[in-house]
Copies of this chain bind each other. A is one copy, B any other.
Amino acid sequence: MMTKPALKPATRLSEWTATEIAAAVAARTTTCEAVARACLARIEERESQVLAWQYLNPDQVIAQARALDRSGACGPLAGVPFGIKDIIDTADMPTEMGSPIYAGHRPRGDAACVALSRKAGGVLMGKTVTTEFANRHPGKTRNPHDPARTPGGSSSGSAAAVGDGMVPLAIGTQTTGSTIRPASFCGAFGYRPTHGVLRSAGVLEGAGSLDTLGLLARSIEDIALYRDVLLGIEPAPIADDVRAPRIGFCRTHLWSRLEPSTQKLFEDAAQSLARAGAEVHDVVLPREFEAIDDTQLAISSFEFARNFTWEIENHWEEISETLRNNRLKHGLACSFERYSEALAHAVRCRELLAPVFREYDVLLTSPATGEAPVGLNSTGDASLCGIWTTMHVPAVTLPVFRGPNGLPIGAQLVGKHNGDRALFAAARWIYRVLA
């Protein structure tokens, strides 16, 4: 089912994409163990700088890889090492939620996404660092491109591990901008699916009305492959659509928050895409979208503060001040009327957004205000992602730009609701132009 890619013997095994690894394992030109060892070597070399892993046991990794080699691994992720955000249940590794409240916690089973990854032949490398309960209080991870800067969050370890070349795939989650923003900061491909389609059994619920899984990868093909694995369906390659996409360049009402150098990267990219044959026009969102930040905050805070009632009532002192004084305080103070109004506003905005996708295949928009900011106390501004999260539409970010300090910045592309595969096709076209 997979198109067999040309192998790239010039690059290190640890730099191969998931698609390349699975093809090589299936062709018996490498082994699961060799791939796992290559990734472990990269981690050994870099982990003291990056601190992407909350739990990693090389013996456990090698044992999995050998078992796969013995059984003749041939699934769509055969031998592919993957990392799992530490708010996602794993039967054979701890799941600590980025909180001392869950120190040493070991779930009974694997989350659906973990079991589906293993069923496809993947090798679970370990648990990646999350901010506390996938919220704002950061974990230990540093940006792999500059240890003085944040990797973004909340899927900090997943994005840093993929961005640093430690694993080709990792799973994160997104409630505001927790996958797309760290992917941009760490130089990874990131994907936030249409809300509700990838299953979340065994994944900590933060705010169910907005939560989704998020994927971090080294190519758009790998993202399409991993999505199919997590849907539990036979993987199909991205449609080879030769038609140039119709691109809506959407600065959003938050444009002034972008660093001028980042604004210029996007203006130039829009021109490059037009020169390459894409139809590119400016898209201005209706005025209603200006309140979307407040709407996202009300929905997520209200739900978050209810979901964490056990922790609030029994472990208040072990919750960070960041979480107590912001999300929880705000959520506990938010009235049901305000929450209901926010849900209704989100529905209105979704209705307003839908017709835009009759004229455009994708929207081009920034995932962040610029490069990863200096400092490890904040994971950066998530609002440029929060708009699209609240719209329930799929988004990807492509690592195509460099900022003034040489650090990665992504190009975020937004697709229509349930148009995830069409988004991948357009993203591949755009990546080929901008990369």
Contact = CB atoms under 8 A, between A and B. Distances in A.
A305 interface: yes
Most buried by B among A199, A233, A309, A312: A309
B114 A310 contact: yes
Main secondary structure of the interface of A (DSSP, over half): helix
Interface stretch (A54-62, A102-110, A168-176): A102-110
A199 B336 contact: no
Interface in A311-351: 311-314, 332, 335-336, 340, 343-344
Interface of A: 91, 101-102, 105, 108-112, 114-116, 118-119, 196, 199-202, 204-205, 208-209, 231-233, 303, 305-314, 332, 335-336, 340, 343-344, 418
Contact of A313 (B119, B303, B312, B343): B119
A310 B196 contact: no
Contact of A310 (B115, B204, B309): B115
A199 B340 CA distance: 14
Nearest to A203: B205
B119 A309 contact: yes
A112 B306 contact: yes
A303 B308 CA distance: 25
Contacts of A232: 305-306, 309, 332
B208 A116 contact: no
A110 B335 contact: no
B196 A200 contact: no
Contacts of A310: 91, 109-112, 114-115, 202
Contacts of A114: 310
Contacts of A201: 204-205, 208, 306-308
B102 A105 contact: no
Contacts of A233: 335-336
Contacts of A335: 233
B313 A199 contact: no
Contacts of A312: 115
Contacts of A102: 108
B309 A112 contact: yes
Contacts of A344: 418
A111 B116 CA distance: 25
A110 B314 CA distance: 10
A343 B332 CA distance: 34
A78 to B, nearest CB: 16
